[in-house]
Structure 1
Amino acid sequence: MKQTWEQVDEYITDLLCPNDPILDDVLTANRKADLPEIDVTANQGKLLQLLVQMKGAKRVLEIGTLGGYSTIWMARGLPADGKIITLELDSHHADVAKANIAHAGLEHMIEVRTGDALGQLAMMAEEEMEPFDLIFIDADKPNNPHYLNWALQFSRPGTVIIGDNVIREGEIINKHSTDPRIQGVRKFNEMITGNPKISATAIQTVGSKGYDGFMIGIVKG
């Protein structure tokens, strides 16, 4: 089945996500810098871009930058005065992302903050950062519950919150898993279920990156 998923991904990408030399350069730069190959796929990047556009977002928060591939996809969906703040723990990853963002000509709308995301989020609270229109959570999964709490703090009614990798090859249904990533995502999902401030669903995805999924929610008034 995985071969079929990969072929379908290639078909969708060729048909709906035309070749983009800059984004190809970003993935090449990430590989050369030995970054883990865990970026979203092109069709998933396009989905994030469309969600930014459908929301009419002007302010985006991304938790987990890696090499900036998803960041660039989302930034291209923003209006000219839009802004993304993206948080990356690893300084090497952040340096690669900054170079990729500069190559894409998007430094004026993307701010990369380097360091522990929970610490960065606390600093943002001290700065009295304005709420965001869309928040994309794609970092270390054991901390997903904490990231959700911060996402809600930096939200307002109508803010869209997206969580990546919430299915984990179907392991998410294993309540006895000893994998802290699985337990982090399970708690994340359960927190959403029990929170009247957010309405959400999750969708399963298959493709060249395997079997996983997204959580998509909206903050209520």
Structure 2
Amino acid sequence: MNNSKVWEDVDIYFSDHLKTSDIVMDSILKENLEAGLPAIDVSPNQGKFLYLLTKLKGAKHILEIGTLGGYSTVWFGRALPNDGHLISLEYSQKHAKVAEENIRNAGLEHKIEIMIGPALDTLPTLKGKGFSTFDLIFIDADKPNNPSYLKWALELSKPGTVIIVDNVVRNGRVADDNSEEPSVVGTRQMVELLSKESRIETTAIQTVGIKGYDGFVLGIVKE
């Protein structure tokens, strides 16, 4: 049995036994597929991890950079308290429309707001709209802009803010310092920034599963 088959089987085993999905979450993935969105959502186990991390943090204010069809958005929204709020930034109007419908079907429209447009245009406006800091920031958008997203995440953080950057392993290519692939270059530039950044403590976790071989960066802004 090849590695990818093992990873997928194990992922499905844990998902089935630990109930990391349900009818609502399955329907979101189905709607995203039928709408022609790329199948790049986090896996059910990863979504549940984000949910649990939000609970552990006790986050009330979340910023998500990259909505897609709202799969991870709904996981975050489920973890928020009744007075919590999530801002999700999405470039594509098509993706945002699908996400908004998924969020309504999940009964979370009162907690979640999608802002449409290039994130690097929207991020500078958040403080003026009353969103000065966030408890948790999830970066899962176009990878070449990861360095800029990280800078804005730090700008919109406070001591104790959790910052997560998804898809950083690039199937192992992140370790290739000769790579010219824009997503790899952007990710490596972000890691270089983190290596010199004194305001945040970070680590990287490699993952395998139904999404293949990847990983994420996890950091906490210092007190």
Q: TM-score, normalised by structure 1?
A: 0.98
> Match of 1:13?
15
Report the CA distance between 1:19 and its aligned residue: 4.2
Task: Give 3-state SS (helix, strand or coil) of 1:199's partner.
Answer: strand
Q: Which ranges in structure 1 are unaligned for 5 or more consecutive residues?
A: none
> Match of 1:72?
74
Q: Contact between 2:15 and 2:44, CA under 8 Å: does it hold in 1?
A: yes
Report the CA distance between 1:190 and its aligned residue: 1.1
Report the CA distance between 1:43 and its aligned residue: 0.2
> Match of 2:117?
115
Root-mean-square deviation (CA, aligned residues, Å) is: 0.9
Q: Which ranges in structure 2 are unaligned for 5 or more consecutive residues?
A: none
Q: Contact between 2:136 and 2:161, CA under 8 Å: does it hold in 1?
A: yes
Paired amino acid for 1:46: K
Task: Give 3-state SS (helix, strand or coil) of 1:84's partner.
Answer: strand
Paired amino acid for 1:216: L
The runs of at least 4 consecutive aligned structure 1 residues that moved more than 6 Å come to: none
Task: Give 3-state SS (helix, strand or coil) of 2:24's partner.
Answer: helix
Q: Distance in 2 between matches of 1:19 and 1:210?
A: 18
> Match of 1:210?
212
Paired amino acid for 2:119: A
Q: How many residues align?
A: 221
Listed one character per residue, the Cα deviations across residues 15-42 of structure 1 (whole Å, up to 9, x for unaligned) are: 1125411111111110110000000000
Task: Give 3-state SS (helix, strand or coil) of 1:76's partner.
Answer: helix
Which of 25, 36, 39 matches 2:38?
36
> Match of 1:104?
106
Q: Distance in 2 between matches of 1:219 and 1:178?
A: 30
Q: Distance in 2 between matches of 1:70 and 1:212?
A: 16
Q: Distance in 2 between matches of 1:135 and 1:52?
A: 10
Q: Contact between 2:67 and 2:89, CA under 8 Å: does it hold in 1?
A: yes
Which of 181, 188, 191 matches 2:190?
188
Aligned residues: percent identity? 54
Listed one character per residue, the Cα deviations across residues 79-106 of structure 1 (whole Å, up to 9, x for unaligned) are: 1111100000000000000000000000
